[in-house]
Structure 1
Amino acid sequence: MFRRTFWFTAGAAAGVWATTKVNRKLQQLTPESLAAQAANKAIDAGHKLKDFALDVRAGMIQREEELGEALGTNAPPDPELPAQRRRPAIGRPAPVKNTRFHHSYNRNEDH
């Protein structure tokens, strides 16, 4: 009698365990759960990308300082020389065109 009770209890426990495991897996495969998992992975990827960009920027600043020291551009300017002019790398003004003789081509004009 004890053997039957043992095997019955073991079978019931295995059934409960298997049912619980299957239900958890089904919950993970619902569209809402899959969307949440994708959103979490996208957020994690964004954080990793931001950290990478910050590391690259820090390395770039460090390397610029090293190059400035090696080339002597970080040294204080000679007081006898005029101040160094710096041009912005981005946002340079466009060259001025002579608009007196300039005619733009419009392919939609009637000819």
Structure 2
Amino acid sequence: MFRRTFWFTAGAAAGVWATTKVNRKLKQLTPESLAAQAANKAIEAGHRLKDFALDVRDGMAEREAELGEALGTNHHPDTELPAQRRFAVIENRSATKTDKHDSTNKTKYLENTRYSYDRNEDH
């Protein structure tokens, strides 16, 4: 009698364990779960790629410093940047009064226009 009860309980426990294991595996194979797993793997790969890029950048900076020391280019006497260049607008004096285009309006416009050569100004 005890032998039958033992085997019945062991069989029921094995059945519950197997059913739980199968249900977990089925939940892992649903489209939502697969999409979440793929997203997690992509995020991990992005973090690894970012860490690699940071390591490469640090190595480049270190090597650049070593080369600068070896070549003696690390010591800059002037630490401030040169002044911004401004170009003068040259008036076209060869234009005559009989030209169809009024050169005075054009030169007034060019004199009032501020020329900026800073490419990062709009950002």
TM-score normalised per structure 2: 0.62
Measure the CA separation in 1 of the matches of 2:42 and 2:75: 45
- The 5 A counterparts of 1:1-111 are 1-77=1-77
Q: Which has the higher contact order (CA 8 A, sep 6+)?
A: 2
Alpha-carbon offset, residue 10 of structure 1: 0.1
Measure the CA separation in 2 of the matches of 1:53 and 1:15: 50
SS of residue in 2 equivalent to 1:73: coil
Task: Write out the 4+ residue segments of structure 1 that deviate beyond 3 Å after TM superposition.
Answer: none
Measure the CA separation in 1 of the matches of 2:53 and 2:76: 31
SS of residue in 2 equivalent to 1:18: helix
User: Sequence identity, in percent?
Assistant: 85
Measure the CA separation in 2 of the matches of 1:4 and 1:29: 37
Alpha-carbon offset, residue 52 of structure 1: 0.3
Measure the CA separation in 2 of the matches of 1:10 and 1:28: 27
For residues 57-79 of structure 1, the C-alpha deviation after alignment (integer angstroms, 9 at most, x for no partner) is: 000000000000000101244x8
TM-score normalised per structure 1: 0.68
Q: How many residues align?
A: 81
Measure the CA separation in 2 of the matches of 1:39 and 1:59: 30
Decide which structure has the larger Cα Rg and report it: 2
Measure the CA separation in 2 of the matches of 1:27 and 1:53: 36
Query: Which 5+ residue runs of structure 1 have no aligned equivalent?
Result: 86-111
Query: Which 5+ residue runs of structure 2 have no aligned equivalent?
Result: 83-123
For residues 11-64 of structure 1, the C-alpha deviation after alignment (integer angstroms, 9 at most, x for no partner) is: 000000000000000000000000000000000000000000000000000000
